[in-house]
């Protein structure tokens, strides 16, 4: 799926994004959207003056919640490729407060427009499956300070998906149902993202390969045993290996 198809999908979704996510998350995990975001925000410790990057921020629900909970003196950058999602977020931020520690930046997570070691904390909620995961993690690793914290709220898959039945039947059925129930661009974006979904164990390996030490992975089980689960993954930026 090209970036422009992703932008088309999320531009279409932007006005109803929260409502749609709330329905989908309750269906998949029996958990409301706001409840999931709260779990994500609470999974990472944030100091008052931390500088935070929220990747694939969408309508900026995560920055808004962080600003309410902590970071009175710090700064939060919400980055997303879809301008309509950011516009919706900017509108919501204006409704919540008059002054805000949040900046919204329209850019790709594949090429984060900030210098190295700029952030104390990075967050990515429900966005990783739309990205090239190794490239996104490389950019996150570059822009995080050493010992900086990362939390990812990912759509994951149970180990069953790696079995013969899981690979052939479940993933194909989900692809088919998505095409039946969703519009063209959104169906394309979600169907393509299925190959980016990983198990808890795969995430641990992927993070270790990217100079990010996995700390904890919390699994929220799916409502239907074969469906996608939710993973809340915390990690820390490891120091670069020495030349010797
Ligand atoms: C499911 S939404 C998640 C939004 C938000 N993080 C949340 O928790 O509600 C996925 C977001 O990823 C964004 N996205 C997809 N590809 C991207 C990329 N290459 N760079 C930045 N954002 C991207 C989309 O525009 C969309 O807003």
- For 86-144, the DSSP string reads HHHHHHHHHHH-SS-SEEEEE--TTS-SS-TT-EEEEEEES-GGGS-HHHHHHHHHHHE
Ligand 1 centre to CA of 241 (Å) is 31
Residue 64 CB–ligand 1 contact under 6 Å: no
Instruction: Please state, in angstroms and rounded to a whole number, the distance separating the CA atoms of residues 151 and 103.
Output: 19
Tokens 């944030």 -> residue: 46
- Do 200 and 156 contact (CB within 8 A), yes or no? yes
Q: With a cut of 90, say whether residue 239 has pLDDT above it.
A: no
Residue 123: which of 189, 199, 194, 37 has the closest Cα? 37
pLDDT digit string, tens, across residues 104-114: 999 999 999 99
Residue 151 CB–ligand 1 contact under 6 Å: no
Q: Average pLDDT in the 74-100 region? A: 91
pLDDT digit string, tens, across residues 150-203: 999 999 999 988 998 888 888 788 878 877 777 788 888 888 888 899 999 999
Mutate to test the pocket of ligand 1, among 16, 38, 130 (most ligand atoms within 8 A of CB): 130
Q: Average pLDDT in the 11-26 region? A: 95
Q: With a cut of 90, say whether residue 147 has pLDDT above it.
A: yes
Predicted local confidence at residue 213, as pLDDT: 85
Exposure string of 2-25, with b = 16+ CB inside 10 Å and e = fewer, is eeeebbbbbbbbbeebbeebbeeb
């Amino acid at each position: 799926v090209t970036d422009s198809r992703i932008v088309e999908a999320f531009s279409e979704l932007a006005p109803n994004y929260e409502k749609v996510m709330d329905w989908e998350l309750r269906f998949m995990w029996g958990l409301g959207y706001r409840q999931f975001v709260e779990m994500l925000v609470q999974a990472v410790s944030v100091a008052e003056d931390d500088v935070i990057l929220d990747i694939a921020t969408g309508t900026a629900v995560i920055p808004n919640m962080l600003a309410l909970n902590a970071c009175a003196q710090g700064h939060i950058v919400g980055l997303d490729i879809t301008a309509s999602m950011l516009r919706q977020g900017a509108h919501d931020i204006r409704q919540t407060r008059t002054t805000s520690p949040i900046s919204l930046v329209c850019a790709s997570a594949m090429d984060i427009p900030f210098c190295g070691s700029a952030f104390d904390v990075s967050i990515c909620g429900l966005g990783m499956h739309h990205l090239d995961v190794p490239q996104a993690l490389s950019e996150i690793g570059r822009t995080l300070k050493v010992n900086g914290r990362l939390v990812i709220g990912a759509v994951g898959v149970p180990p069953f998906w790696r079995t013969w039945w899981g690979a052939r039947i479940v993933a194909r059925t989900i692809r088919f149902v998505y095409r039946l129930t969703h519009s063209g661009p959104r169906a394309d974006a979600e169907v393509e993202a299925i190959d980016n979904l990983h198990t808890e164990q795969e995430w641990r390996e992927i993070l270790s390969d990217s100079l990010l030490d996995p700390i904890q992975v919390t699994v929220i089980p799916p409502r239907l045993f074969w469906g996608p689960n939710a993973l809340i993954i915390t990690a820390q930026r490891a120091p670069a290996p020495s030349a010797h």
